[in-house]
């Protein structure tokens, strides 16, 4: 039996999809959540100076999408053909694009510049992505790919809550299929249990 | 026989790895390179407002890493196990991180702010990544993963030249294994032929 140790910050972000997939698969994992001063010490020891990292039997994995894809394929959440995997990966990379936009916004230390950027994000950039993702879910029976649950559903669901907290706006609420998708995932018994037990965090 | 049509700008960037992989596999492809005014018309018709897109028999693929992964697996450039694919994907996502940093730098329209950022990129950020990538190549027999050519080798090689042009500095020259990697790829007969025939571009 493998041992899993996830190291990330005390936020949902791109660590949350990994936590969700491990929970879904019924795997016990060490959920290490570090603070800023610990991070400064740990950073030089990570593969590329970033979190999350996941240790599987002591072997260090990095990059959240690569980790989710690997775990997903291990736990029956991958595509059943190269073509299906392509659909999953195109969505995952698109979610990463949104993540990069969000992280750039959130890390902007100059509060005035940040507020100046907010309307464009809220009214243009994020709706542009959400409209298209909503339509993909609509056309795929409530999931992102081919009417079935895959790892990229968790990749989006885990991250989208952080996106809303960062924007301080329930931006997903306008999109019925995204909301339905979120609810469907939350009602999976293993995920329901994980959500009720997980530490409460601001973002 | 499939038909391939790649649409991108007249630069190497993240389109170049796709061109390289198709060339390596001996596939003929339509290499459409569009200008800014054409892009404004095409943008709303693309899946997420971005290029490159690759049409295979008319089906539209987007996201450069997802496309390279799909083509790579089709043409024998994937990993031979889930674990090997994980290694490939961790590198690909890391290259995407560099790509995001570079694209943010390059798109900075305020020339003064851009020049202010340049020394940090040249002296810290990019070397941080290149040192680690160089060491990975060293430990994997001249490739990124398990002593053999995979699609992520093209993903890096194609993009790294654009990175140097954007920075206007031969930043890879300090890293012997990265240089060797580049030369090895350039000496693959199909790639040599592609490079000698491809349009000459600034970046």
Chain-chain contact of B73 with A82 (C-beta, under 8 angstroms): yes
**Contact across the interface for A89 and B69, Cβ inside 8 Å:** yes
How close B152 gets to chain A, by Cα (Å)? 13
Q: With 0.90 as the threshold, say if the pTM is over it.
A: yes
Percent of chain A clearing pLDDT 70 (strictly above): 100
Print burial letters for A51-74: b (CB count within 10 Å at least 16), e (below 16). bbbbbbeeeebbbbbbbbbbbbbb
Angle among Cα A41, A58, A194 to the nearest 5 degrees reads 85
CB B116 within 8 A of CB B51: no
pLDDT of residue B12: 95
Task: Give this complex's ipTM.
Answer: 0.96
How sure is the predictor about A130, in pLDDT bands with cuts at 50, 70 and 90? very high
Residue A38's alpha-carbon distances to A6, A34, A35, A41, A45, in angstroms, are 15, 6, 5, 5, 12
pLDDT at residue A84, as a whole number: 98
- Compare CB distances from B70 to A47, A65, A86 and report the shortest one's residue: A86
Q: Note whether A62 contacts B89, CB cutoff 8 Å.
A: no
Give the integer Cα–Cα distance in Å for A75 and A24.
Answer: 9
Q: What is the mean pLDDT of residues B65-69?
A: 98
Which of B66, B69, B94 is closest, CB to CB, to A48? Answer: B94
Partner-chain contact B73 A65, CB within 8 Å: no
Residue of B nearest to A98 (CA): B48
Q: Which of A133-137, B53-57, B58-62, B198-202 has the lowest mean pLDDT?
A: B198-202
Domains of chain A: 2-74+188-195 (3.40.30.10), 80-186 (1.20.1050.10)
Question: What is the pLDDT, as a whole number, of residue A56?
Answer: 98
Q: What distance in Å separates the CA atoms of residue A88 and residue A157, rounded to the nearest whole number?
A: 14
Q: pLDDT class for B106, splitting at 50, 70, 90? A: confident
Q: Average pLDDT in the B169-177 region?
A: 97
CB contact under 8 A, B69 and A50: no
With CB atoms and an 8 Å threshold, state whether A66 touches B86.
yes
**In this predicted structure, what is the pLDDT of residue A34?**
98
Chain A positions in Cβ-Cβ contact with residue B73 (cut-off 8 Å)? 82, 85
Question: Are A63 and B94 in contact (CB < 8 Å)?
Answer: yes
Question: Does A114 score more than 90 pLDDT?
Answer: no
Give the model's pLDDT for residue A1.
Answer: 83
**Selected residues 47-106 of chain A with any CB under 8 Å from a CB in chain B:** 47-50, 61-67, 69-70, 73-74, 82-83, 85-86, 89-90, 92-94, 96-97, 100, 104
Rounded Cα distance, A11 and A51, in Å: 11
Residues A79-88 have pLDDT tens digits of: 999 999 999 9
Question: How confident is the model at residue A109, as a pLDDT?
Answer: 74
Q: Residues A138, A177: contact at Cβ < 8 Å?
A: yes
pLDDT of residue A123: 96
Mean pLDDT, chain B, whole residue set: 96
Which pLDDT does position A6 carry in this prediction? 98
Q: Cβ of A49 and B128 within 8 Å? A: yes
Distance set, CA B41 to CA A132, B35, B37, B45, B52 (Å): 18, 10, 7, 8, 15
pLDDT at B138 exceeding the cut of 90: yes
Q: What is the band of B177 on the pLDDT scale with cuts at 50, 70, 90?
A: very high
Q: What is the mean pLDDT of residues B105-124?
A: 88
Contacts of residue A96, defined as CB under 8 A and 6 or more positions apart, other chains included, come to: A65, B93, B96
What order of strands is seen across the sheet that includes strand A30-34?
A30-34, A4-9, A53-56, A59-62
- A149 pLDDT higher than 80: yes
Average pLDDT of the residues in A163-188: 96
pLDDT value of residue B140: 98
- A-B C-beta contacts closer than 8 Å: 79
Over residues A62-79, the pLDDT tens digits come to 999 999 999 999 999 999
């Amino acid at each position: 039996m493998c041992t899993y140790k996830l190291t990330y910050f005390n936020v949902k972000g791109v660590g949350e999809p990994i936590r969700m997939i491990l929970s879904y698969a019924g795997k016990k994992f060490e959920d290490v959540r570090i603070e800023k001063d610990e991070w400064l010490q740990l950073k030089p020891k990570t593969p590329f100076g970033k979190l999350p990292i996941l240790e599987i039997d002591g072997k260090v994995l990095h990059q959240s999408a690569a980790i989710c894809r690997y775990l997903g394929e291990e736990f029956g959440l991958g595509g059943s053909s190269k073509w299906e995997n392509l659909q999953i990966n195109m969505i995952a990379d698109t979610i990463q694009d949104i993540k990069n936009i969000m992280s750039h916004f959130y890390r902007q230390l100059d509060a005035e510049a940040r507020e100046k950027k907010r309307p464009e994000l809220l009214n243009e950039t994020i709706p542009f992505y959400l409209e298209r993702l909503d339509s993909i879910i609509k056309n795929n029976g409530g999931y992102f790919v081919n009417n079935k649950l895959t790892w990229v559903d968790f990749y989006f669901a885990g991250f989208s809550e952080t996106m809303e907290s960062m924007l301080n706006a329930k931006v997903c609420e306008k999109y019925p299929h995204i909301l339905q998708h979120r609810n469907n995932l939350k009602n999976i018994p293993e995920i329901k249990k994980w959500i009720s037990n997980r530490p409460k965090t601001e973002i």
